Amino acid sequence: MKKPIVFALFLALAVGTPSRPVLAEIAPSISSRPCVILLHGLARTKTSMMTLEQSLIHAGFDVVNQGYPSRSAPIEALAEKALTTARQTCADDSAPDVVTHSMGGILLRSYAQAHPKLDWGRVVMLAPPNHGSGIIDEHGDRKWFQLLNGPAAEQLKTGGLPDRLPSVPFEAGVIAGSQSLNPATSALVDGIDDGKVSIESTKVAGMRAHITLPVTHTFMMHNPKVMAQTLMFLKTGRFEVSMTTVQAVKYLKAGN
């Protein structure tokens, strides 16, 4: 039983049995919380999204932090199982919001293509390889790389699956990173990058907004500015380019 329901029942017991109109007022407040699905990236787990999960819960969202075995199957199969499960968990919200990291964004795009009649809320894509990555071009065919990363990784080469997907059918905001922790991997990526994906590769046809922040691919979802910009887009459909770190922390604390 979810906490808001427990609270509502506790309140009812504390003040006596409410009349039907009062119960009717309680019920909408329980179901009115928007649902947001979180999808992690390749070779990660849902633990990598927990900091972001907590910030969104604090802001009033019901959060489904959906894990999936990212190295076990192709993207299409991973997407079908993970997003079907997540949407079922968000059963009270027929158009859930979604926040993805890296390959999670490609899972969402693949699933949306396979299920064109489904509705979606706002979507924030963190460092999505929407046009693949030069790292996959260099290493994707090698046995050791395939053993470490599974069949989905090879689909992320430039000109691969992401480039064959249609424009996004939802209100999408994209956050790209411009700092790298690994010069060796950055050398395989054309243009300014976050260590794995270039800024240009994150862009996708149909997106509503795009912002670049000085963060790295691996840890961007823990950055206060990334979390605040994510929350702002989910709430308003826009990014605030001038937001400072101090302002981001205040925004997250307020929950707005």
Q: How confident is the model at residue 28 (pLDDT cuts 50, 70, 90)?
A: very low
34 contacts: CB under 8 Å, gap ≥ 6: 60, 61, 62, 93, 96, 97, 121, 234
User: pLDDT digit string (tens) for 149-164?
Assistant: 899 999 999 999 999 9
- pLDDT over 90 (residue 73): yes
36-50 mean pLDDT: 97
Q: What does pLDDT average to over the chain?
A: 88
**Burial (Cβ within 10 Å: 0-12, 13-18, ≥19) of residue 105:** buried
Walk across the sheet containing 35-39 and list its strands.
Answer: 62-66, 35-39, 97-101, 122-126, 171-177, 209-213
CA dist list (Å): 149 to 43, 103, 156, 194: 7, 12, 11, 19
Tokens of 144: 């050791």
d(CA 67, CA 142): 27
4-29 mean pLDDT: 36
95-104 mean pLDDT: 98
Tokens of 140: 């994707």
6-20, 50-64, 72-86, 189-203, range with the lowest pLDDT: 6-20
Confidence at residue 117, expressed as pLDDT on a 0 to 100 scale: 96
